Structure 1
């Protein structure tokens, strides 16, 4: 079974869809972009998402204190780092008992040397561009795959890359809104693999 994270939640309605479709993880984005939420919005989403589904906070060069504060308030359970954060940041968060997903481009050699709990390969945060799955390097940590995934291509992506987890946001949206049918399809496909 491949785990799946549905990212880019913005509203209690999105949380309700997550509770129906049962992905392994849900995500809220604190980095600038179309899916960005405030800490207050994230708190509301956390209150509506089933407590059994961990909420991942997505950050890009955010202050360590902000991430720790969101974790201490039980808003997020995992930190996903999309920026230039170095290993000292990874270790500082882990020392605070925060699991870390560190995001890299497939060509970044540093992916092989991080101590993060999981390495994610993406084409660039929220770009929606699909990676060349044949170019994904082998690494020792659990691997997450993101970038342009949707119900039409995720099965092939899983077969080629064999990731621990797939991560999708815009690939399960219709007119910019999370779609229950697309999310349910994604979760079903991932969990079958």
Structure 2
């Protein structure tokens, strides 16, 4: 079953809605971003999250004190590294780790090999995360490790992405918004439904 993450959450009602439509993980951006939230805000945003829904802190080149504060807050089950972090930094994460790699060429996907010993998931995103524009998926053809696909995914193109790449997980953000930081229930529910429909269809042929 493909895992689904909804990222860039800034409102409590959107957190609740993402859970209702079937998200497996919720992403809160602590890095510099128009969708940035603080640990104090997350105290309310991440309140009473069901036990089997992951909460992900999205950071970029964090200092050791920031990572410590994230881990000690008790709000998160995972840290997503979205900067130029070394494999050593990712490997030393105090929580489960995701390493995001921006893609604009085949060479960018090859960088994933650097993190093979860091015990992390690899997430492939557009070079400009949050832009709403997908990268060229053909760059991932032949990539053998399970990965998370992000970058301009929404109800209009998620089925095509699933058929072409069969990612282990997908990450929705700007393409399921009605405005910056405001998730659109209809768009998100449609995107989630299309992932689940693809999963069921795929299982019929296994």
TM-score by length of 1: 0.91
Deviations 1:14-59 (A, max 9, x none): 1121221121111000111111001111121111433321111111
1:101 equivalent to 2:101? Answer no
Q: SS where residue 111 of structure 2 aligns? A: helix
Question: 1:120 aligned to 120, 123, 127, which one?
Answer: 123
Aligned structure 1 segments of 4 or more residues deviating by more than 3 angstroms? 137-141
2:169 matched residue in structure 1: 165
Where does structure 1 lack aligned partners over 5 or more consecutive residues? none
TM-score by length of 2: 0.86
Do the aligned partners of 2:141 and 2:165 also contact (CA within 8 Å) in 1? no
RMSD: 1.6
Distance 1:138 1:78, change over 3 A: farther
Distance 1:49 1:11, change over 3 A: farther
State the distance in 2 between where 1:88 and 1:190 align: 34
State the distance in 1 between where 2:166 and 2:157 align: 14
Q: SS where residue 47 of structure 1 aligns? A: coil
Deviations 1:146-173 (A, max 9, x none): 1111101001001111110110111111
Do the aligned partners of 1:15 and 1:48 also contact (CA within 8 Å) in 2? no
Where does structure 2 lack aligned partners over 5 or more consecutive residues? 200-206
Larger Rg: 2
Aligned pair count reads: 190
